Amino acid sequence: MSTILIVDDSKFMRLTLKNLIEKSFSGAHTVAGEAGSAKEAVQKYQELKPDLVTMDIIMPEESGLEAVKRIVAIDGNAKIIMVSAMGQEKIVEEAMMLGARSFIVKPVKTEDLIKSIEKVIGR
């Protein structure tokens, strides 16, 4: 069983992702925690040591890209999927260069989330 940390400043989006993960994977993956900011994401990553992180880009104070940099500096093997309404090619490229393993555009489609999680976790 894999553990997942969901990072998004929108509580509604965190709940949506959590529900999609729990319904789609029937216990194969569990949501270990949630974070509403980049700073909280880094703290929760260190506390929970999740197998996977879903990361929003646009958040107050610091962006998800900053959180990716900091998490990858802590753990070079971190598995991060960016989840953002901002699907511009330049931002996607930057996220991948910083260490993200996949990118999903909002609104999230269940099949895209499932494919990304399976691809990144390797199952």
* pLDDT tens string 69-122: 999 999 999 999 999 887 788 888 999 999 999 999 999 999 999 999 999 997
Write down the pTM of the prediction: 0.95
Confidence band, pLDDT 50/70/90 cuts, at residue 29: very high
Question: How many structural domains comprise the chain?
Answer: 1
Tokens of 63: 């962006």
Confidence band, pLDDT 50/70/90 cuts, at residue 123: low
Backbone torsions φ then ψ of 6, nearest 5 degrees: -100, 125
Which domain does 21 fall in, by range? 2-121
Over residues 63-74, mean pLDDT: 96
What CATH number corresponds to the domain at position 112? 3.40.50.2300
Question: Cα(88)–Cα(61) distance, rounded to whole angstroms?
Answer: 21
Q: What is the amino acid identity at position 4?
A: I
- 97 Cβ contact partners less than 8 Å away, ≥ 6 residues apart: none
